[in-house]
Amino acid sequence: MEGFTQYAKLEQEKSQNYTTQIFVDDVLLTTQTFNSDNTVKTVQIPINMIDEGDSIITIKPNNQNVTLYSTLLTREYHTNTEAQPVSRTISLERSYENAKGENYSIGIGDTVIVDFSVSGLKKEDRYFMIEDQLPAGMVPLNEHLDNVSKNDTPDSGYNYVQKEYTKNGIVISDSYINKDGQQHYQYKARVVSGGDYSVPPAQAMLMYMSEIYAHSGSVVIHIDNESQIVSIDGSEVDVSNKKGVLFGNASFQIIAIAIIGLITIGAFVTIWLFRRKS
């Protein structure tokens, strides 16, 4: 009987005619009318009505006995290449490192480790997530695919860490927070093209407490055609004349050639003497 009752209420709501007013920061945006033939409305909110700080969207039906379901969809285009990090209770840091080692620049064909460090969370916090977009010259390595070597992807960690790979990034969700409030996550990407690429900020938040969030700064990533060995201060090292301790200097090269020549001559003399005795 309860099922029939709920169904009757739902059908009654669909057959009712009622209007709904939508406000943005107490400014009336539009008035929409609903009836049995028109139960779904799509309303676009102009970006110039959204305050740079916090805006409030209010939906007021003229009939308080109806159940109204709403979904807010945002489409964002990040164009600020100099966006600074923002911290609201928590903080987020993002870094990139060549899997060959920290003393290598990033080149085409390399594997890059994308690293996130989060601080400021509380032990009782739950359902934390990070969303990240890669630069145009990289694609994520999906560890769930059979054609991706497990050596190419970092450890997935515990079962409560979930990774959802997107076309150009990742969404990481975690239901467990460490006692010290410090969280650390990684994923890997493959470099597919060279150049200079702008990277939008990575975003971190508590899914059910949106006022607790952070995002990293936007950066510009340079990708070489081939990775280079870099010094501690990040500048490239000229390796054209540094092919090792032995062969990095002309005098050492001459000594090396002389030693190899003596060894070769010694081997021929030994063979010749051995043949004469036999």
Residue 79 has pLDDT above 60, yes or no: yes
Query: Mean per-residue pLDDT for 41-52?
Result: 85
Q: pLDDT-based confidence at 241, cuts 50/70/90?
A: very low
Query: Mean per-residue pLDDT for 67-96?
Result: 85
CB distance 122 to 151 below 8 Å: no
Nearest to 187 by CA among 208, 163, 168, 211: 163
Q: Give the C-alpha separation, 161 to 129, whole Å.
A: 9
Buried b (16+ CB within 10 A) or exposed e, 249-275: eeeeeeeeeeeeeeeeeeeeeeeeeee
Per-residue pLDDT tens over the stretch 167-205: 999 999 998 888 888 899 999 999 999 999 999 999 999
Residue 11 has pLDDT above 60, yes or no: no
Instruction: State pTM to two decimals.
Output: 0.60
Q: What is the pLDDT of residue 249?
A: 47
Q: Give the C-alpha separation, 275 to 272, whole Å.
A: 5
- Name the average pLDDT for the chain: 80
Query: Mean per-residue pLDDT for 36-45?
Result: 82
CB distance 137 to 197 below 8 Å: yes
Q: Is 224 helix (H, G, I), strand (E, B) or coil?
A: strand
Per-residue pLDDT tens over the stretch 103-118: 999 999 999 999 999 9
For residues 50 and 202, which has the higher predicted lDDT (pLDDT)? Answer: 202
Residue 224 has pLDDT above 80, yes or no: yes
β-strand partners of 115:
95, 186
Residue 38 has pLDDT above 80, yes or no: no
Q: Give the C-alpha separation, 64 to 62, whole Å.
A: 6
Q: Give the C-alpha separation, 24 to 11, whole Å.
A: 30
